[in-house]
Structure 1
Amino acid sequence: MSGHDVPAEPDAGPHDAGQGEYPVEWEADVVLRDGSTTHVRPIRPSDAPALQRFHMGQSERSTYLRFFANIERLSDRDLARFTVVDHDERVALVAVKRVGEDAREDIIGVARFDKVTPHEAEVAFNIADAEQGRGLGSVLLEHLAVAARERGVRRFSAEVLPQNGKMLAVFQEAGYATSQHVDDGIVAVSVDLDPTERSRAVMADREHRAEARSMHGLLTARRVLLVGPGPTAEPGTASRLMAERVLANASTDPGDGTFDVVGVAPPAGFGDLAAEPAEGGAEGRAEGDTAPAPSAVRFFGRIADVPGPVDLALLALPPREAIAATAELERLGVRAVVVLSAGYAETGPEGLALRRELLRTAHAAGMRVVGPATYGLFTTHVEHRLNASLAEALPPAGSIGIFCQSAPTAVTLLATALRRGIGVSSFVSAGHRADVSGNDLMQFWQDDPETSVVCLYLESIGNPRKFSRIARRLASVKPVVVVTAGRSGQVVPPGHAVRSTRAPRRTLDEMLRQSGVIHAENTHHLVDIAQLLAYQPLPGGRRIGLLTSSAALTALVAEAVGSAGLVVSDRSGFVAEDADDAEVEAAVEAIFAPDACDVVVAVHVPTVRPRGEAFSRAVARAAAASGRTTVASVLGMHGLAEELSAPDPANPDGPPVHVPAYSTPEDAVAAVEAVVGYARWREADHGTVERPTGVDSDGARALVEAALVGDTVVDLDAQDVARLLAAYGIELWPSRRVRTADEAVAAAQDIGWPVALKSTAESLRHRADLGGVRLDIGDEDELRDDVEQMRQTLAAVLPGACSTGTGDDEQGDSDGPAPFEVQRMADAGVACVVRSTEDQLFGPVVSFGLAGDAVDLLGDVSYGVPPLTDVDVATMVRSIRAAPRLFGYMGAPVADTAALEDLLARVSLMADELPELRSVEIYPVVVAERGAAVLGARVQVAGAQRADTLRRALPG
């Protein structure tokens, strides 16, 4: 599969392209269509032997499609031309994998471009015959397109033979705007590299399928290999204890596959194998192979003795030994390694280097990595049950998928699920999350028929933008409940190599809200929510029917319902403690009557009599029969109880319907509040990400790139700010910097009366209370008076802010910045401020609020993480507490919120497309009855630092 790239003629001139600075940031580990991994990086001169092997390994057909000729061997000149590039005018990326005992790198795919103009480049691809069909061509196109955009290229062109259908399909299926025509029997293809909604959707869909497939291979492992610390390890060490715990689990609950062990002796009484552990590997295990221990566990002396294939490997080894073992596992076809031991990034720079070496070793061999410091994983699927965890006892089978980073928290979560009797479909502890993350598991759970609720405990979020888009997609079909380590999500525990953030603490909340994720307060709250979602239908509204055992309880629970923003149904009531069965049934029937409420909260706390079963069983039967969302708080019950379950009339032979029980009524109401909010989000229209008209992205990028000075933060001048905003269809009202009253009058006459006079001093901008702003100046005399008064006022407030002039026609001081600014007055309206900040963790964060000190002091600001839909933008405008001022508060005119939302959408697009925009402030924006006037703006640019780009890549 290739484009056209003609080898150099034998008499061509000497190769004169120098090797530019190696762009290490283009290196990436990727997941392919089959769930395996490979490494993509820029080509190096030292790759010449590997490129020759790659070329000679291709079929004649592939070589012909690539070069339009059959070339058996590349000449030395061709090898130099193909491998020595400047990474600017000429760029080449290779996909490599490690092979052989010497761990050499072999090339399995090449993608390259050569600029023909500053904004167009010829592109060519070549994928190894044995690797075709795994999606490598589309991955290389994505990565090459990102590199090209960074080098100013906006269009790819290629010449392709008509019979090269695979190459044409890569271009056509990429989602970019593509055109092609046939000329002299050659298909000329042109690809516009500007991202489109379709190209983003294509990338997300391919990413979803690949990562889900990768996790499917992890969680459906049949053959598991444990590699332990060996018999010489000190008793009581962490590695040895972990290996012994896994082995104990395997012997009692091996799952449906086989469990092989290296380096760990079988415990006493472990079947026939305990007396004679394998010393010589497979040869010494012939008898054991035919008559294995009852637990289907086999023992080997070395990894080299283990017969393949093996699906999953568990490593209870120190870091260097784990890396060496990972390299050995490649020949067994292992899909993933689960690293139980710690000792990596949490120990410092050397440990971080070890973590990177572990990842590189695993990814080059096509494996994913779970951990380090993981608590393991398990699944309860009927068809592929697996226990590869450190848990002493597992919860029952169920429909809740749990992802947890922290091993200690994993202990708590699993113990809670076991104690409450709630079922888990699969569980993965990622430990320090070097590779496999919550994003990967969400991709898998979206399509997993055994999982209906997704729960994640996150100590850190390595790529919030990717998390947001995956979670939003998943939450549209299955609820996602998240607990973060700290409400801000800014906690970085030891061992988590993630970027720091300076984003406001509310940014995470806004990101989760946009994504439809339920943000639980703590693990207790998470399990409370999960058991409701797993065992009850989503509520159809927010009317809460209360059924309690006393009037006092009804009043107390009603208060909790009101505080949660829910509504108490007028059908609510109570059942006296001494009520007979008929009275209980009547009360239950009333609260479950059609249209009586949307959710039933049943509370039963007897004060004198022993608790009977009549109340609980009546509620359970009514809940099963009606399909009404129901929760209970009954003395002595927590989680799932037989007393609060009943057969499903619609499926008598199926599992019973459970009404989840809570320790307190407040816990029950808190869970209902979260689930009602999710149900409303799921039913709502979330809008679309629309591209506003009149946008010149190429012009904006050229302007920004011209202003960059490496990583130095640069303030754009007023002209460049106006040009940048204009490229996104935003008009910045002109203003004039002046020093004297004469200059101010001339500026006003040119701009048009009435005008505003402002101080240019940083600390006095927009500060009318300090005399820094004078508005609605209608004539020359008034302007001259205001200039003099402002000069005197500001001289007292901020000495030096204004120069001292002389005479009637003040000339002022010609040195230094002009102290005043004159601008035409906008129509009366509501003053607002729109900002965007590029955070190295979250990416662009857009904020909106009304102007004024009070708003800043009270933090009355809304946030959004682009890309934003039209509904997201409308929500930002309406979610601040001061929003009524935009909608006719106290008889004021209604502001043009449509114009304001259009401005926010344009700023969102600009921030999303230009990661070099370190900060943008548009202030003030005066929103009148018609239109929104942008009166001031400041922009800072610096080198891009965004973690999430338009390419698929694993954590580095």
Structure 2
Amino acid sequence: MTHETLSRPTVHALLADGTTVRIRPVRPGDHDQLHGLYEEMSPENLRLRFFAASRRSAEMAADRACGTPRPGYRALLAEAKGQVIGLAEYDTGGTGTTAEISIAVADGLHHRGVGTLLVEHLVSAARAEGVTAFTADALSENREVLRLFADLGLRTARRFEGPEVRCTIELDESDAYLSAVEERGRSADVASLEPLLRPKAVAVIGAGRRPGSVGRAILHHLHSGRFGGRLFAVNPGASAILGVPSHPSVAALPVTPDLGVLAVPAAAIPDTAEECGKSGVRALLVVTAGLDADQARRLTATCRTYGMRLVGPNCLGICHTDPNLSLDATFAAGRPLPGTAGVAVQSGGVGIALLDGLSRLGIGVSSFVSLGDKYDVSGNDMLQWWESDGRTDLALLHLESFGNPRAFSRTARRVTRRIPLLTVDAGRTDAGRRAAASHTAAAATRTMTRGALFSQAGITATRSVGELLEAAALLHSQPLPDGSRVAIVTNAGGAGVLAADACAEAGLTLPPPTPRLVDDLLAVLPEGAAVGNPVDATAAVTEEELANCVDRIMRHSGVDAVLVALVPTAVAVATGDDLGRALTRGPARRAKPVAVIRLEQALPVELLPADGGTVPSYAEPQAAARALAHAGRRAAWLARPAGTLPTLDGVDTTRAHAVVEAYLEAHPDGGWLDPRTCAALLDCYGIPQSPWAWAETEDDAVLAADRLRGADGRVVMKGHWPGLLHKSAERAVHLDLRGDSQIRAAFRDLETRFAGLLTGVLLQPLADRGTELFAGVVQDEVFGPLVLFGLGGTATEVLADHAARLAPLTDHDVHDLITAPRCAPLLFGANGARPVDLERLEQLLLRLSRMASDLPQLAEADFNPVLATPGGATVLDARVRLVPRRPQDPYLRRLR
């Protein structure tokens, strides 16, 4: 055991059956419990563990785990409610990158995932310490441990030696391993949420006898909504409330509830939660607000100790509309319509708006969770629930914060390939954000970071609750378009113009009709119709003619969606035609999406009943166009295969870690790297840099310039001192220097103007002409590394032409990063110019992403400019800032 082993944090995680366990390093005081773990094993399990049923082996194993700390040894244990239930350990012998691993699980707790969970945590710890493989010896008849190794998702080799098997497990972080961990986590997560979302018995603790209390309102909703399980109130002053039996305490209840709803004052929350835990309650819903830090800490600790999942505090409640359950534990004014949309929100007000909107549209809700202050259950939990519940086909999220965005992103990428996932991009502004020191940090706004997360995960991000409902209506009722080509049909020219403007503003295209389509439409439309795009069917169009027009456009291969803009006319009233009915009397689920605009419509969006479904109708053209654009982006995301992480040659992570460790040892508080250390770090990742030389005296500068001069003999001199970031702004750069005299004059100028600061100069050949770009990365404390790319040079912050993606970048991500900025046409050969070397530019960004992913200590990297030419992509100026930070495994299974 090392000192680091003893200092590693304790975490809580879920077993396969949803039980909460605590994972922590072994301490000397654990000896008796570990000895007891082995002592209580059956002789057969002892034999499988130690190859002999020896009680002496148990004593020695406990001694080894709790003995004197030694290099290369690590031991982790799992405990539930204070009892040790498993142990996993590895030992490198003090040297090398291969470690021997062993596992022990208490009798009666096999097949619940204890050993697998411990090994996952041991794998994470081993990787952080440079271990690349585990080895283990097992009896060939020990099928359980052999199956455990085989099912990890890691490459495992077996070698049989008589009755024993030698297993070698490669600790490579492959996507297969992450997917296996995810699947185990999803299964455990869903199991842990069963008592919360499908409880067989519920107790409302704090339900008052007088109207007006939150607890009483929730009890009323549960009772009047005919909750399908057993329902109790807990109130020492009443025998019944609203006809529901009431008992003085949780311990006095005739059965132990799965779910406890806590609506007591904040000061009483910790003790009430403790009582619930001791009584065996498995989940808590805390609607109470105003907990102080100590109350919050005690509540969370109690839930972890007793294995209770927690929603809240400070929330609206939860509901599950399955008719066999009818769980409505909210204090919203109305009841949500049963349906197929899963909803999770942090804001109760937003939750009420979404519940009302989905009910009004007729989409309804499958389950709803108001996360509140989100001490435990999160949006990630709910995504996994909806993925598995068999009822949800649309997911709506309103999250003001993310606990583990990288895990959320992986889950969302998987879930959104099956069901649409929509969110309101809350907290877009950064009012009061501290001005950043580097170009990278200045560009990396929270809006950009969240946008990268949503874009990469395939999440439909809207800017308001109204826009969210508009998009949900179309995605719920219509097929996805194959592209962005929209045909507009209208009975009023002005409405068609408004719709055309809205489509153009939303990024949709309006292709002109082909001559054949023109003839087809003129054959069914009234005299005077104008067949362009929009198609002006005139006020004289009848219901039948409009239906035929839309059907013929639908069959046209050059159109992906149809938007019908209608206004009420006296002609239609006189003839008894209902133009809206022209779109709903046929099959609602056509091969292509259709949406209606009715300018007189009172509600922003409605779903019009149709044969076998519904058709969305919008009061504003902009709303319809936005919804179609969201659907088109989702279709494009689904059509593209999942990205892969390209293999990069020439990467030396061992040397990179050594460079970082050496710098932080000399600078414990971190800081900006000097040019030589910065260049050494970039070289570890094969990031191309302009040739350079460092000089600290005038004579050294002359000699360096002689070595660096190209064919034209011109060089650049850049001053340096600790903390210097923007050399041009400080006028610490001399360009186009020729001959020794200019080199000396430039050096003396910098030395004079920056006396007491200057530590040396960097010399480089004057670069060829090309496109100046900017690339950088900033390590977000929550989201992880964010890679930025865009137009570079001295005006990079003024022009703000940047795109961003979260690392690690896939091949698709890096393509999107290069094509997203407004300057992208310059890279592809605008105005007859030759395109830049896109392959090398992609390689540079991939290597920057890899560096940021490998090194959590990398707080910022700033490459400006990056010179892109037809012959390559080269970093001309680089700045890197390191901070002391321990690596964290974002995919390790653990509770918040």
1:539 and 1:394, CA in 2 relative to 1: closer, same or farther beyond 3 A? farther
CA distance in 2: counterparts of 1:384 and 1:627, whole angstroms: 36
Q: Which residue of structure 2 lines up, in the alignment, with residue 664 of structure 1?
A: 620
Code of the residue aligned with 1:800 in structure 2: it is R
1:205 matched to 2:158: no
Q: Is the 8 A contact 1:178 1:190 kept in 2?
A: yes
SS at match of 1:853: coil
1:538 is paired with a residue whose SS is: coil
Q: Deviations over 1:500-555 (max 9, x none)?
A: 99942311112211111111111111111112111222122222222334111111
Residues 816 and 420 of structure 1: CA distance in aligned 2, closer, same or farther (over 3 Å): closer
Q: Who is 2:353 aligned against?
A: 412
Provide closer, same or farther for how the CA distance between residues 45 and 225 of structure 1 changes in structure 2, counting only shifts above 3 A: same
Tell me how far 1:629 sits from its aligned partner. 1.1
RMSD, aligned α-carbons: 3.3
> Which one-letter code corresponds to 2:213 in the other structure?
L
Name the counterpart of 1:626. 590
Within-5 A mapping of 1:379-390 = 379-390=320-331
The answer to whether structure 1 residue 108 and structure 2 residue 85 are counterparts is yes
1:477-516 alignment, distance < 5 Å: 477-488=418-429, 503-505=444-446, 506-516=448-458
Partner of 1:68: 51
1:42 corresponds, among 1, 25, 29, to 25
- The 8 Å contact of residues 539 and 629 in structure 1, kept in 2 or not, is answered as yes
130, 133, 139: which one pairs with 2:108? 130
Q: Does 1:534 align with 2:476?
A: yes
Contact (CA 8 Å) 2:206, 2:263: kept in 1 or not? yes
Aligned equivalent of 2:563: 601
**For residues 128-527 of structure 1, what are the structure 2 equivalents within 5 Å?**
128-183=106-161, 185-228=163-206, 241-263=213-235, 270=242, 274=243, 297-308=244-255, 310-319=257-266, 321-330=268-277, 334-344=281-291, 351-488=292-429, 503-505=444-446, 506-527=448-469
CA spacing shift, 1:947–1:218, aligned 2, 3 Å: farther
CA distance in 2, matches of 1:298, 1:491: 52
Deviations 1:462-521 (A, max 9, x none): 2222222211222222211111332258999xxxxxxx9994231111221111111111
Alignment pair present for 1:552 and 2:502:
no
Identity of paired residues, percent? 31
Alignment-mate amino acid for residue 254 of structure 1: R
Q: Is the 8 A contact 2:805 2:817 kept in 1?
A: yes
Cα separation, partners in 2 of 1:764 and 1:527, compared to 1, 3 Å: closer
Tell me the distance in 1 between the aligned counterparts of 2:689 and 2:550. Answer: 64
Change (3 A) 1:556 1:484: closer
1:281 paired residue number? none
Q: Is the Cα–Cα contact under 8 Å of residues 758 and 766 in structure 1 kept in the other structure?
A: no
Find the counterpart in structure 2 of residue 767 from structure 1: 728
Equivalent residue letter for 2:395: V
Distance 1:794 1:703, change over 3 A: closer
Q: Distance in 2 between matches of 1:838 and 1:714?
A: 14
Report whether the alignment pairs 1:883 with 2:824. Answer: yes
- Matches of 2:200 and 2:555 in 1, distance apart? 50
Q: Please tell me whether the aligned partners of residues 379 and 387 of structure 1 are also in contact (alpha carbons under 8 angstroms).
A: yes
1:654-709 deviation digits (Å, cap 9, x = unpaired)? xxx11122232222222222222222222124421122123232332233234334
Indicate if the aligned counterparts of 2:406 and 2:890 stay in contact, CA closer than 8 A. Answer: no
**TM-score, normalised relative to structure 2:** 0.88
CA distance in structure 1 between the partners assigned to 2:221 and 2:238 by the alignment: 13
How many Å apart are 1:75 and its aligned residue?
A: 7.7
Amino acid of the residue matched to residue 116 of structure 1? G
- Residues 438 and 863 (structure 1), Cα distance of their counterparts in 2 relative to 1, 3 Å cut: same
Deviation at 1:789, TM superposition (A): 4.7
Partners of 1:327 and 1:502 lie apart in 2 by 47
Measured at CA, do residues 64 and 489 of structure 1 come closer, stay the same or move farther in structure 2, by a change above 3 Å? farther
What is the aligned length?
859
What 5-or-longer segments of structure 1 have no aligned partner?
Answer: 1-16, 99-104, 275-296, 345-350, 493-499, 649-656, 804-814
Please state how far the C-alpha of 1:242 moved relative to its aligned partner: 1.8
Asked whether the 8 Å contact 2:205–2:264 carries over to 1, the reply is yes
Cα drift, residue 893 of structure 1: 2.9
Kept in 2: contact 1:254–1:387 (CA 8 A): no
State the alpha-carbon separation in 2 of the partners of residues 55 and 61 from structure 1.
12
Seen in structure 2, the aligned counterparts of structure 1 residues 603 and 395 have a Cα distance that, compared at 3 Å, is farther
- The residue that corresponds to 2:717 in the other structure is 758
Cα distance change on mapping 1:79 and 1:770 into 2, 3 Å? closer
CA contact (8 A) 2:787 2:805 kept: yes
Q: Residues 836 and 111 (structure 1 numbering): CA distance in 2 closer, same or farther, change over 3 Å?
A: same
Q: TM-score w.r.t. structure 1 length?
A: 0.83
| 1:807 equivalent in structure 2 | none
Contact 2:351–2:370 (8 Å) recurs in 1: yes
CA distance 1:128–1:735, change in 2 (3 Å)? same
Question: How much has 1:200 moved relative to structure 2?
Answer: 2.1
Q: Which amino acid aligns with 2:659?
A: L
Structure 2 SS opposite 1:693: coil
Contact 1:873-1:901 at 8 Å conserved across structures: yes
Matches of 1:175 and 1:883 in 2, distance apart? 40
Contact 2:346–2:400 under 8 Å retained in 1:
yes
2:579 paired residue number: 615
Choose the corresponding residue for 1:680, options 623, 636, 653: 636
Residue equivalent to 1:280: none
Q: CA deviation at 1:401?
A: 0.9
| 1:78 Cα offset (Å) | 5.7
Q: Is it true that 1:728 corresponds to 2:691 in the alignment?
A: no
Residue in 2 that maps onto 1:543 = 485
Alpha-carbon spacing, 1:343–1:945, altered in 2? closer, same or farther (3 Å): farther
Matched, 1:800 2:757: no
Deviation per residue, 1:126-168 (Å, 9 max, x gap): 1122222122222211212222333443433333232223223
Alpha-carbon distance change, 789 to 720 in structure 1, aligned in 2, over 3 angstroms:
closer
1:743 aligns with 2:700: yes
Change (3 A) 1:503 1:589: closer
Q: For residue 621 of structure 1, what is the amino acid of its counterpart?
A: R
SS at match of 1:615: coil
Aligned partners of 2:349 and 2:886: how far apart in 1?
33
Please say if residues 478 and 589 of structure 2, whose CA atoms lie closer than 8 Å, have aligned partners that are also in contact. Answer: no
- Asked if structure 2 preserves the Cα contact closer than 8 Å seen for 1:460 and 1:489, the reply is no
* CA shift for structure 1 position 175: 2.9
How many Å apart are 1:84 and its aligned residue?
4.7
Deviation at residue 77 of structure 1 after TM alignment: 7.3
Determine helix, strand or coil for the equivalent of 2:801: coil
Q: Confirm or deny: 8 A CA contact 2:208 2:216 kept in the other structure.
A: no
Q: Quick one: which of 704, 711, 720 aligns to 2:660? A: 704
Question: Alignment partner of 1:129: what SS?
Answer: coil
Q: CA deviation at 1:952?
A: 0.9
1:898-949 CA-partner distances (Å, limit 9, x unpaired): 0110111111112112212222233443233223233443333222256653
1:938 aligns with 2:879: yes
Q: Structure 1 residues 895-904 or 823-832, which shifts more?
A: 823-832
What is the rounded CA distance, in whole Å, between the counterparts of 1:769 and 1:391 in structure 2?
59
3-state SS of the aligned residue for 2:168?
strand
- Residue 600 of structure 1, CA deviation: 2.3
Write out per-residue CA displacement over residues 347-398 of structure 1, whole angstroms, 9 at most, x where no aligned residue.
Answer: xxxx233323322322332321111112111122345442222223223222
**Displacement after TM superposition at 1:432 (Å):** 0.7
C-alpha distance 109-894 of structure 1, shift in aligned 2 (>3 A): same
- Give the letter aligned to residue 45 of structure 2: S
1:211 CA drift (Å): 2.1
Residue 13 of structure 1 corresponds to none
Structure 2 letter corresponding to 1:767: S
**Alpha-carbon spacing, 1:886–1:583, altered in 2? closer, same or farther (3 Å):** closer
Secondary structure of residue in 1 paired with 2:475 = helix
